[in-house]
Chains A and B, each alone.
With several copies, the nearest count.
Chain A
Amino acid sequence: MSVRKDITPSAIRRILVANRGEIAIRVMRACRELGIFSIAVFSDADALAPHVAAADMAQRIGPPAPADSYLNVPAILDAARRCGADAIHPGYGFLSENPGFARAVQEAGLVWIGPPPETQEALGNKLAARRAASEAGVPVVPGLLVPLDAQVTPDPAVVGLPMMLKAAAGGGGRGMRLVHTAAELPDAMRAASREARSAFGDGTLYAERVISPARHVEVQLLGDRHGNLACLGERDCSVQRRHQKLVEETPSPAVDGTLRAALFDSARRVAGTVAFHNAATVEFLVDGEGHHYFLEMNTRLQVEHGVTELATGLDIVAWQIRVAAGERLDASVLDVQPRGHAIEVRIYAEDPWDAFRPVAGTITAWQPAEGPGIRMDHAVVEGPLTPEYDPLLAKLMVHAQDRPAAVDRLRRALDETLVGGLQTDLGFHRWLVDQPEFVSGDYHTGLIGERWGDGPALASDETRLSALAAVEGRRSAAATRDGAWAQPEATTPWSRTGRQEAVRRWPG
């Protein structure tokens, strides 16, 4: 596995977090709780970003473009050297699944908080991983086990239709194309291959039959350097747009004891095909009959790790650092039993009524939900967005004693959460929590396409409420200096009077 068998917790004293936004802050909080000095890196677009403020120290690594900063391996390693870092945590995205980076980190004599580079290489190729899983006796999605190219096109008679074209080097839904008819195949292959090349520098594709209806269920694993492997439960990530997750929950409403045992067994088999320590996720599709099919394995922290932390009471990031330092997983992890129900919704700066397209703009107001059973991991500040990076603003997580209570808590939290200045997907999430499919838990990956579509039209009562609010806004603003909201409120007594009048106006 690793050459660093000798490592003890004390071997990690200063961690450079090679990421930004909410996940960088999440990692830095774990560092602080472990008594480890944390170092932020930032691009020129992020000089005032929250993750810079959350660290013990911060280093500039380059211009805004990711290639020049958060993907800039030499700049990051140089920052680590200048700051005396002894370990690097990659977060998710950016360089987290880049074996070259992992290798460079280790060659620089630093602890890499992640799996061995060889493991990343083995699993980074989704097609190879698919073959390995199949050989390990794990059911995989029906389709081809060989790469496609302009010559080798997938025979619909063999793969079946509709089929999904996927990038061997892929992930995050990029380089994927859904193909309904043989006629679409050539164009789809070209488009998917181009997208894959631009995203991953490798246009290799493979083909899978489309499982539909299907649920996307993944198993969270945590391994140490001594061969211990903990199974921290499953997550259901079936609410997706563009093959990317929007909502995750644990436990999965679609998984019973029998299926859970089968999923955990398959996950352990897949993990057994590679030398591995760190947090990892094995992803499956589950069809209507409760059969499961291996999709891929990610050996990094997942965006949605928080719901598993809420259900298990464990700090997965702290354990990532501890196993990287050579600690053994103990019974508190190996025997953990999840409790209650946890749901996460991702708050993106994108417009659900415009095909979930990212929106640019400035956040003029931010009011996060608070109170019992709420966790809001975010890096939101009032001010302009940085369109260079992923439009994820925040992750709203709720935990309650059972699923109905969790859904009610999520609805309450969504009603408390306000983002001003631009459209976010909060409008979709607020719609979702009132849908019978979601309330009952009986939904699948087609939910958004089939039930949301382009989004519901504005109801007349909503329109009339918006009109009322806008008129009151203009009336109230007319009392301020420049007739806009930009200014602080004129005087407190003034608005106090305003409130009391409003309250006295009550019928009764």
Chain B
Amino acid sequence: MAGLTVTVAGAHVEPAGEWRLEWLDRRRGIARLSDGQHSLLALVEGSGSEWFVTLHGRRTPVAVMSWRERTLAEARAAAAGEGGPVEIRATLPGLVVAIKVEAGAQVAAGDALLTIEAMKMQNEVRAPRDGTVGQIAVEAGQPVAAGVLLLRLE
């Protein structure tokens, strides 16, 4: 298992060396981290190279990759950079309140695309990257289930 590299939010991270981890419940991924002076519980979930670690109630995605996985990931990232089409889908069931763009419009990463009201609050759906708005698959006032295609970004 040597040669694992760890990245958090895209940045390389060196695991804390002076701390120890003891499994308390392997099945549920509960462990104790301690340096002999302090201790806290860690909740560890995931598989392969994709992991989530919850410390003090904060859940952080952590990539633990072998050399091979890292190269593949970098290749994927490059491809996305060139801007293959992206499908924007609803993450929660809700009501489409407003559509903020029209097909063919140029949008920049972070631009609001549409507004969905779910779980009692309005959420802005934003563009993950620069691009051109392709098909708009929903209309204002339409209820949508989780996973439904909302819009395509070319």
Residues of A within 8 Å of B, CB-based: how many?
76
A435 at the interface (CB under 8 A from B): no
CB under 8 Å from chain B, chain A span 447-480: 458, 461-478
Cα A33 to Cα B59 in complex, Å, equals 24
B34, B41, B51: the one within 8 Å of A57 (CB): B34
User: Quick one: closest B residue to A38, CB to CB?
Assistant: B39
Contacts A415-B41, A473-B29 given; does A467 touch B8 at CB 8 Å: yes
Stretch at the interface among B9-17, B71-79, B99-107: B9-17
CB under 8 Å from chain A, chain B span 95-152: 117-123, 146
- Digit string of B61-87 for contact with A (CB within 8 Å is 1, else 0)? 010100000000000000000000000
Cα A476 to Cα B13 in complex, Å, equals 20
B37, B42, B53: the one within 8 Å of A37 (CB): B37
B22, B26, B57, B62: the one within 8 Å of A470 (CB): B62
Residues of B within 8 Å of A, CB-based: how many?
62
> Do B26 and A418 have beta carbons less than 8 Å apart?
no
> Do A507 and B36 have beta carbons less than 8 Å apart?
yes
A289 at the interface (CB under 8 A from B): no
Cα A1 to Cα B64 in complex, Å, equals 58
With a cutoff of 8 Å between Cβ atoms, the chain A residues found around residue B119 in the complex are: 358, 387, 390-391
> Do B120 and A483 have beta carbons less than 8 Å apart?
no
Cα A487 to Cα B26 in complex, Å, equals 10
- Digit string of A359-375 for contact with B (CB within 8 Å is 1, else 0)? 01000110100000000
With a cutoff of 8 Å between Cβ atoms, the chain A residues found around residue B43 in the complex are: 365, 418-420
With a cutoff of 8 Å between Cβ atoms, the chain B residues found around residue A470 in the complex are: 6, 44, 46, 51, 53, 62, 64
> Do A53 and B123 have beta carbons less than 8 Å apart?
no
User: Quick one: closest B residue to A418, CB to CB?
Assistant: B43
Cα A462 to Cα B9 in complex, Å, equals 13
A488 at the interface (CB under 8 A from B): yes
User: Quick one: closest A residue to B122, CB to CB?
Assistant: A195
> Do B16 and A485 have beta carbons less than 8 Å apart?
no
A81 at the interface (CB under 8 A from B): no
Cα A482 to Cα B47 in complex, Å, equals 9
> Do B55 and A466 have beta carbons less than 8 Å apart?
yes
User: Quick one: closest B residue to A457, CB to CB?
Assistant: B9
User: Quick one: closest B residue to A508, CB to CB?
Assistant: B36
Cα A56 to Cα B24 in complex, Å, equals 12
Contacts A463-B8, A502-B22 given; does A473 touch B44 at CB 8 Å: yes
Least CB distance, B27 to chain A, in whole angstroms: 4
> Do A462 and B33 have beta carbons less than 8 Å apart?
no
A357 at the interface (CB under 8 A from B): yes
Cα A462 to Cα B54 in complex, Å, equals 10
Cα A104 to Cα B129 in complex, Å, equals 53
Least CB distance, A348 to chain B, in whole angstroms: 10
> Do B58 and A360 have beta carbons less than 8 Å apart?
no
> Do B34 and A56 have beta carbons less than 8 Å apart?
yes
With a cutoff of 8 Å between Cβ atoms, the chain A residues found around residue B118 in the complex are: 358, 387
With a cutoff of 8 Å between Cβ atoms, the chain B residues found around residue A418 in the complex are: 30, 41, 43, 54
Contacts A415-B41, A463-B8, A473-B44 given; does A468 touch B21 at CB 8 Å: yes
Least CB distance, B36 to chain A, in whole angstroms: 6
> Do A467 and B23 have beta carbons less than 8 Å apart?
no
> Do A477 and B39 have beta carbons less than 8 Å apart?
no
**29 A-B pairs with C-beta separation under 8 A:** A53-B24, A56-B32, A174-B120, A365-B29, A365-B45, A367-B28, A414-B57, A415-B41, A418-B30, A420-B29, A427-B56, A465-B33, A466-B53, A467-B62, A468-B19, A468-B21, A469-B21, A469-B31, A469-B44, A469-B62, A470-B53, A470-B62, A470-B64, A476-B23, A484-B46, A485-B46, A489-B27, A498-B26, A499-B23
